């Protein structure tokens, strides 16, 4: 691809490759010749975690595959804000079909590429949490079961954001959404058992499952590279804060992602064939409260009265993750 | 047009019998059509299949309501299902049974129109399993070889089955053919 | 070469010879024999350059086909009834994206109540989806239509469904001539997509189109459909020359030239209908049949021409619109003049056999103009009386 004049907006983080690093250690995002798979001009909200995550993921995938990449996108924010006809911000071959079928469509693309004897062209399917863990779940499981040669990426902002912030199967307990309002004796989303998509992916014993966030850019890129070294069904679950849906400041997106990790609420790990093989340890643990406070979707836990009982239950969830994944011992569970 | 209705129970190869009859008729130079009447596909449940044979293309798709011939693969159906319904005035019946005429207690069909053939027994001997279809087809050819010859029946069997199963079925068909042919010669001479 | 074989098998062989790149399917009666046969053909290696994908639902089946087709490969699937409905969102998606997918639908009733037998409810419920719909009268017809379907789909960039009556055709043994591989190759060239997913020439497929352009997109889809009858005729002519059989036609008139009464129908019931009409002709009735092969787009001009001299038209429906009446009747109405009478006879729902005897009876009433405008053939009063009494 020809060199593209990309604008570097990020400062104050490692996002724009540290010039003290050797070139090969710098992030893909630091490279002026990166694919820029999703280029500027799209209509995402200020501070959109998904736009950030998608750019990191796809530029890394394009780097890993020499640009031989096809992307299949589910319906959702990412698809809507990137393709307002007659404009498109995609610089890669890209297909959007429906909400619930991205994994199946991606499987079809992969099969066609094999038939065309172009298995060198790799397929990435992507969508939000709604399209992945709810409406697309059947197709996702089918893709896993067949071990289709697709990397499927879920950008998890924990709700149906594009349609007005409704609850999804990925919405965490106590969070306010349009369909789990902060009213009544138990405001916000119910405390259920959740739907842990990475663990479900692991239960399918596929070659690679990983979680990542937009707080650690290089970790995210590394996981994409790792995934692209492998063939078969691979799943990457990326935590992406949504300022609009979460009621957080646009400038807080990366910070909130980091807090989710440091509190233990979002474990970061890798698994292969159903076994955890690597865990990112928590360097500086924080209580969940520090993570919850900046988000107005949790405002009812602090105002008018602090709901220490609810916060304690959320903390218990974080504690469980820490124990389960060994997030503080730096080793495997 | 010659219309055949095949009765039996699920698992006895009733549909296969009708299909192979159509293949044999085609092999004998005719137009033929075979299709099942579709009930639930449960082993043991009554099943019906149809076969039409003609010298001209067959367009009709309704079930066979007025059969010129009946093949009954399971005699236990006789008093439970209206097996003989619509049988044409000169229509005949090929009945798989080891029983004698009196024991069968068949009502409403003349003795001289029913051919009794121990097809399951022949199948057990030649094929090792009591699947009577091939033997019944052999018997059918013996009754009306202007429609379907034994050779075409054997070719149809060998086209559908392989190895020992093909040979066993073919042997059963040939044995049945001989049995029915000889019985008819006897009854003519009697 | 003529052979005696099962309809499903004939279709599977034909589709295999059309060299699909991806076949994906989810089993549902009565389509199962088709996909089983294709899976065996692919697995044995007999059909090279093809992947057979067992999917987890019909929605996934059409989705895999969409992905494969968009990536530049000839894609095929098959379904029936509930399965067709389960993939409806994807049906519209495929049509809207202009993907030349070919699908066999083994026509079967839609529940509730669940019913696995043949009628046209399934495909007719999707007549607005943008798919071309072809209805086969016989298994030979089904074979020939599939080959032509791939050509038509790829030339016009529109998906095509070939409808064949479930069980009645799919599970019927009759003689068929499946075109040889050479014959199919000569007629059906390799798929050359209008556009496809290619990293070397990246395109965005499936953009969001707002009010400012959506109407135009749909208008253009309509224009594509309007081009189908003429294109189909020319493709059919080419196929006929190659196969030696009469060309497939959008509508097939039978003894209509001097007919006062014309019975209109689609699918396998046409066989029984023609036998019935021959019987009535022998009795002196001036009656004929109009078979419709191309149902979507609806060939209004051809139908109008074929029915021009008829005084009355009887539409023999294999589906119906609850609370309204006939489906084909409604499509056909603009073709009739005010002086032409039309009768709707709903027949064979849920696989009830349509017999010559019943047809003779109802057509006798039609000819005498003593028939109601809407009749359900062989309706069983003893089953409905108790329910209606209570109402």
Tens of pLDDT along A155-175? 999 999 999 999 999 999 999
Flag whether pLDDT at A16 surpasses 60.
Answer: no
CA–CA separation, C277 vs C270, rounded Å? 10
Flag whether pLDDT at B75 surpasses 50.
Answer: yes
Touching chains, C (3+ CB pairs < 8 A): A, B
- Cβ–Cβ < 8 Å for C90, C66: yes
- Cβ–Cβ < 8 Å for A35, A91: yes
**What's the pLDDT score for residue A3?**
61
- Cβ–Cβ < 8 Å for A58, A42: no
- Cβ–Cβ < 8 Å for C321, C292: no
**What's the pLDDT score for residue C389?**
86
**What's the pLDDT score for residue C69?**
98
**What's the pLDDT score for residue A332?**
46
For the record, the structure tokens of A170 come out as 């990925």
| Alpha-carbon gap: B177 to the closest alpha carbon of chain C (Å) | 23
Contacts of C389 (CB under 8 A, 6+ apart): none
Tens of pLDDT along C13-63? 999 999 999 999 999 999 999 999 999 999 999 999 999 999 999 999 999
Query: Which chain A residues contact residue C21 at CB under 8 A?
Result: 111-112, 115-116
**What's the pLDDT score for residue A11?**
47
Radius of gyration of chain A (CA): 19
Q: Is the Cβ of A83 closer than 8 Å to some Cβ of chain C? A: yes
Q: Is the Cβ of B86 closer than 8 Å to some Cβ of chain C? A: no
**What's the pLDDT score for residue C240?**
95
**What's the pLDDT score for residue B44?**
86
CB contact under 8 A, C63 and A67: no
Flag whether pLDDT at A189 surpasses 50.
Answer: yes
Q: Is the Cβ of C241 closer than 8 Å to some Cβ of chain A? A: no
CB contact under 8 A, C175 and B31: yes
Extract the runs of DSSP E, i.e. beta strands, from C89-212.
102-107, 132-135, 160-165, 173-177, 204-205
Provide the 8-state DSSP code for A117. T
Q: Is the Cβ of C73 closer than 8 Å to some Cβ of chain A? A: yes
CB contact under 8 A, C63 and A97: yes
Flag whether pLDDT at A10 surpasses 90.
Answer: no
- Average pLDDT of B16-42? 91
Residue A33 main-chain phi, psi, to 5 deg: -95, 15
Touching chains, B (3+ CB pairs < 8 A): C
Flag whether pLDDT at C267 surpasses 50.
Answer: yes
Angle at C251 between CA C247 and CA C252, to 5 degrees: 70
Name which of C180, C141, C148, C153 is nearest C75 in CA terms: C153
CA–CA separation, A88 vs A92, rounded Å? 10
Tens of pLDDT along C276-309? 999 999 999 999 999 999 999 999 999 999 999 9
Flag whether pLDDT at A14 surpasses 60.
Answer: no
**What's the pLDDT score for residue A333?**
44
Write down the residue that tokens 């209004």 correspond to. Answer: C300
The residue of chain B nearest to residue C169, with distances taken between CA atoms, is B35
CB contact under 8 A, C57 and A86: no
Which residues pair with residue C291 across a beta bridge?
Answer: C252, C265
Q: Which of C270, C274, C355 is closest, CB to CB, to B65?
A: C355
**How far out from the chain centre does Cα C195 lie?**
27
In sequence order, what DSSP letters do the residues of C5-74 get, joined into one string?
EEHHHHHHHHHHHT--SEEEE---TTTHHHHHHHHHHHHTTSSTT-EEEE-SSHHHHHHHHHHHHHTT--
**What's the whole-model pTM score?**
0.94
Flag whether pLDDT at A98 surpasses 50.
Answer: yes
Tens of pLDDT along C175-232? 999 999 999 999 999 999 999 999 999 999 999 999 999 999 999 999 999 999 999 9
CB contact under 8 A, B23 and C4: yes
Tens of pLDDT along C128-175? 999 999 999 999 999 999 999 999 999 999 999 999 999 999 999 999
Flag whether pLDDT at B187 surpasses 80.
Answer: no
The residue of chain C nearest to residue A120, with distances taken between CA atoms, is C199
Query: Which chain B residues contact residue C272 at CB under 8 A?
Result: 59-62
Query: Which chain C residues contact residue B62 at CB under 8 A?
Result: 272, 353-356
Residue B141 main-chain phi, psi, to 5 deg: -60, -35
- Cβ–Cβ < 8 Å for C121, C28: no
The residue of chain C nearest to residue B34, with distances taken between CA atoms, is C173
Write the ipTM.
0.93
- Average pLDDT of C86-115? 97
For the record, the structure tokens of A249 come out as 């400041």
CA–CA separation, C127 vs C92, rounded Å? 11
Average pLDDT, chain A: 93
Q: Which of C50, C63, C210 is closest, CB to CB, to A101?
A: C63
For the record, the structure tokens of C140 come out as 């030979």
Q: Which of C56, C207, C210 is closest, CB to CB, to A139?
A: C56
Q: How many CB atoms are closer than 10 A to CB B104? A: 15
**What's the pLDDT score for residue A111?**
98
Radius of gyration of chain C (CA): 21
**What's the pLDDT score for residue B83?**
95
Provide the 8-state DSSP code for A238. E
Write down the residue that tokens 């890993």 correspond to. Answer: A64
**What's the pLDDT score for residue A284?**
93
CB contact under 8 A, B62 and C4: no
Query: Which chain C residues contact residue B27 at CB under 8 A?
Result: 4
> What's the count of helices (H) and strands (E) in chain C, helices before strands?
15, 18
The residue of chain A nearest to residue C196, with distances taken between CA atoms, is A93
Question: Prior bond to A86 cis, omega within 30?
Answer: yes
- Beta strands A122-128 and A208-213 are unpaired
Contacts of C331 (CB under 8 A, 6+ apart): C295, C298, C300
Contacts of C83 (CB under 8 A, 6+ apart): C26, C28, C31, C58, C61
Name which of A104, A107, A85, A82 is nearest A94 in CA terms: A82
**What's the pLDDT score for residue B40?**
59
What percent of chain A lies above the pLDDT cut of 70? Answer: 93
Q: Is the Cβ of C168 closer than 8 Å to some Cβ of chain B? A: yes
CA–CA separation, B137 vs B142, rounded Å? 9
Largest CA distance in chain C: 70
How many Cα atoms are found within 13 Å in the side-chain-facing hemisphere of B121? 10
The residue of chain C nearest to residue A122, with distances taken between CA atoms, is C199
CB contact under 8 A, C353 and B22: no
**What's the pLDDT score for residue A185?**
87
For the record, the structure tokens of C135 come out as 């209805």
Q: Is the Cβ of C190 closer than 8 Å to some Cβ of chain A? A: no
- Average pLDDT of A21-39? 88
CB contact under 8 A, C353 and B63: yes
Q: Is the Cβ of B34 closer than 8 Å to some Cβ of chain C? A: yes
**Burial (CB count <10 Å: 0-12, 13-18, 19+), residue A72:** buried
Tens of pLDDT along C333-351? 999 999 999 999 999 999 9
Flag whether pLDDT at A9 surpasses 80.
Answer: no
What percent of chain C lies above the pLDDT cut of 70? Answer: 100
Q: Is the Cβ of A311 closer than 8 Å to some Cβ of chain C? A: no
Q: Is the Cβ of B35 closer than 8 Å to some Cβ of chain C? A: yes
Could you give the 3-state DSSP secondary structure of residue C381?
Answer: helix
Query: Which chain C residues contact residue A145 at CB under 8 A?
Result: 56
Q: Which of B31, B38, B60 is closest, CB to CB, to C272?
A: B60
Q: Is the Cβ of B50 closer than 8 Å to some Cβ of chain C? A: no
- Average pLDDT of C57-85? 98
The residue of chain B nearest to residue C137, with distances taken between CA atoms, is B59
Decide: C and A in contact? Rule: 3+ Cβ pairs under 8 Å.
Answer: yes
| Alpha-carbon gap: C286 to the closest alpha carbon of chain A (Å) | 52
Question: Prior bond to B152 cis, omega within 30?
Answer: no
- Average pLDDT of C108-113? 95
Which residues pair with residue A153 across a beta bridge?
Answer: A126, A236
Lowest mean pLDDT among A22-36, A195-209, B75-89: A22-36
CA–CA separation, A124 vs A285, rounded Å? 33
**What's the pLDDT score for residue A17?**
54
**What's the pLDDT score for residue A12?**
45
Which residues pair with residue C288 across a beta bridge?
Answer: C262
**What's the pLDDT score for residue A30?**
85
- Cβ–Cβ < 8 Å for B16, B160: yes
| Alpha-carbon gap: B62 to the closest alpha carbon of chain C (Å) | 5
Tens of pLDDT along A281-312? 999 999 999 999 999 999 999 999 999 999 99
Query: Which chain A residues contact residue C24 at CB under 8 A?
Result: 108, 111
Flag whether pLDDT at A24 surpasses 90.
Answer: no
Cα dihedral value C225, C162, C347, C366, nearest 10? 50
CB contact under 8 A, C22 and A111: yes
Flag whether pLDDT at B103 surpasses 90.
Answer: yes
Q: How many CB atoms are closer than 10 A to CB A283? A: 9
For C194-230, letters b (16+ CB in 10 Å) and e give: eebbbbeebebbbbbbeeeeeeeeeeeeeebbeebbe
């Amino acid at each position: 691809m020809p060199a593209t004049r990309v604008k570097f907006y990020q400062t104050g983080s490692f996002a724009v490759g540290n010039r003290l690093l050797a070139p090969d250690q710098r992030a893909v995002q630091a490279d002026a010749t990166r694919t820029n798979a999703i280029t500027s001009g799209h209509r995402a909200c200020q501070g959109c975690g998904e736009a950030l995550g998608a750019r990191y993921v796809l530029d890394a995938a394009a780097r890993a595959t020499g640009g031989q990449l096809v992307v299949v996108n589910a319906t959702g924010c990412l698809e809507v804000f990137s393709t307002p006809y007659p404009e498109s911000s995609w610089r890669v071959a890209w297909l959007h079909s429906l909400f619930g079928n991205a994994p199946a469509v991606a499987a079809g693309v992969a099969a066609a590429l094999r038939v065309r004897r172009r298995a060198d062209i790799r397929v990435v399917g992507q969508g939000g949490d709604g399209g992945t863990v709810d409406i697309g779940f059947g197709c996702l499981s089918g893709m896993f079961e067949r071990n289709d040669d697709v990397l499927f990426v879920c950008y998890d902002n924990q709700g149906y954001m594009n349609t007005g912030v409704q609850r999804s199967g990925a919405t965490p307990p106590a969070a306010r959404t349009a369909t789990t309002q902060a009213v009544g004796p138990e405001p916000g989303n119910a405390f259920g058992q959740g739907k842990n998509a990475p663990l479900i992916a692991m239960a399918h014993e596929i070659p690679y499952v990983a979680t990542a966030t937009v707080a650690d850019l290089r970790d995210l890129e590394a996981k994409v590279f790792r995934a692209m070294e492998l063939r078969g069904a691979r799943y990457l679950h990326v935590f992406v804060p949504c300022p609009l849906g979460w009621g957080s400041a646009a400038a807080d997106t990366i910070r909130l992602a980091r807090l989710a990790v440091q509190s233990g609420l979002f474990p970061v790990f890798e698994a292969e064939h159903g076994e955890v093989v690597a865990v990112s340890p928590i360097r500086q643990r924080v209580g969940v409260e520090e993570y919850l406070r900046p988000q107005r979707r949790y405002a009812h836990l602090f105002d008018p009265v602090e709901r220490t009982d609810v916060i304690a239950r959320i903390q218990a969830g974080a504690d469980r993750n820490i124990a389960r994944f060994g997030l503080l011992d730096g080793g495997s569970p | 047009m010659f219309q055949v209705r095949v009765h039996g129970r699920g698992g006895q190869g009733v549909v296969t019998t009708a299909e192979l009859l159509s293949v044999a008729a085609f092999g004998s130079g005719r137009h033929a059509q075979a299709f099942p009447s579709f009930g639930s596909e449960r082993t043991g449940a009554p099943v019906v299949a149809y076969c039409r044979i003609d010298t001209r293309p067959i367009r009709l798709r309704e079930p066979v309501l007025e059969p010129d011939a009946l093949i009954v693969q399971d005699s236990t159906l006789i008093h439970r299902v209206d097996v003989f319904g619509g049988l044409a005035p000169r229509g005949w019946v090929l009945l798989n049974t080891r029983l004698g005429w009196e024991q069968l207690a068949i009502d409403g069909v003349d003795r001289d129109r029913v051919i009794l053939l121990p097809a399951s027994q022949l199948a057990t001997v030649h094929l090792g399993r009591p699947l009577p279809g091939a033997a019944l087809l052999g018997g059918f050819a013996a009754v009306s070889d202007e429609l379907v010859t034994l050779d075409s029946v054997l070719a149809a069997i060998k086209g559908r089955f392989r190895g020992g199963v093909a040979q066993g079925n073919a042997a059963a068909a040939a044995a049945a053919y001989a049995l029915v042919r000889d019985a008819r010669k006897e009854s003519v001479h009697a | 070469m003529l052979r005696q074989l099962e309809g499903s098998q004939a279709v599977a062989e034909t589709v295999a010879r059309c060299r699909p790149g991806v076949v994906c399917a989810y089993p549902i009666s009565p389509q199962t024999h088709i996909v089983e046969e294709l899976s065996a053909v692919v697995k044995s290696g007999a059909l090279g350059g093809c992947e057979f994908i067992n999917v987890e639902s019909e929605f996934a089946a059409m989705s895999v086909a969409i992905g494969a087709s968009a990536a530049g490969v000839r894609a095929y699937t098959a379904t029936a009834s509930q399965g067709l409905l389960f993939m409806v969102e994807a049906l519209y998606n495929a049509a809207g994206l202009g993907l030349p997918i070919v699908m066999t639908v083994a026509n079967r009733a839609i529940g509730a109540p669940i019913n696995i037998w043949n009628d046209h409810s399934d495909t007719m419920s999707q007549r607005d989806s943008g798919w071309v719909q072809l209805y086969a009268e016989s298994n030979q017809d089904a074979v020939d239509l599939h080959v032509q379907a791939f050509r038509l789909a790829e030339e016009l960039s529109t998906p095509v469904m070939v409808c064949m009556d479930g069980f009645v055709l799919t599970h019927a043994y009759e003689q068929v001539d499946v075109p040889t591989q050479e014959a199919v190759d000569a007629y059906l060239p390799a798929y050359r997509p209008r556009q496809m997913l290619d990293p070397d020439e990246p395109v965005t497929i499936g953009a969001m189109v707002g009010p400012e352009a959506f109407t135009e997109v749909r208008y253009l889809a309509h224009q594509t459909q309007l081009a189908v009858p003429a294109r189909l005729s020319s493709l059919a002519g080419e196929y006929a020359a190659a196969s030696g059989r009469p060309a497939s036609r959008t509508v097939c008139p039978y003894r209509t030239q001097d007919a006062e009464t014309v019975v209109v129908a689609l699918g396998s019931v046409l066989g029984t209908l023609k036998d019935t009409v021959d019987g009535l002709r022998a009795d002196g009735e001036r009656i004929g049949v109009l078979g419709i092969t191309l149902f979507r787009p609806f060939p209004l001009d051809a139908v109008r021409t074929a029915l021009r001299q008829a005084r009355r038209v009887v539409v023999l429906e294999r589906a119906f619109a609850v609370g309204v009446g006939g489906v084909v009747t409604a499509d056909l109405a603009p073709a009739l003049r005010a002086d032409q009478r039309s009768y709707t006879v709903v027949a064979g729902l849920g696989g009830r056999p349509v017999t010559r005897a019943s047809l003779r009876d109802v057509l006798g009433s039609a000819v005498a103009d003593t028939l109601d405008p809407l009749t359900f053939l062989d309706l069983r009063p003893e089953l409905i009386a108790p329910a209606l009494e209570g109402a």
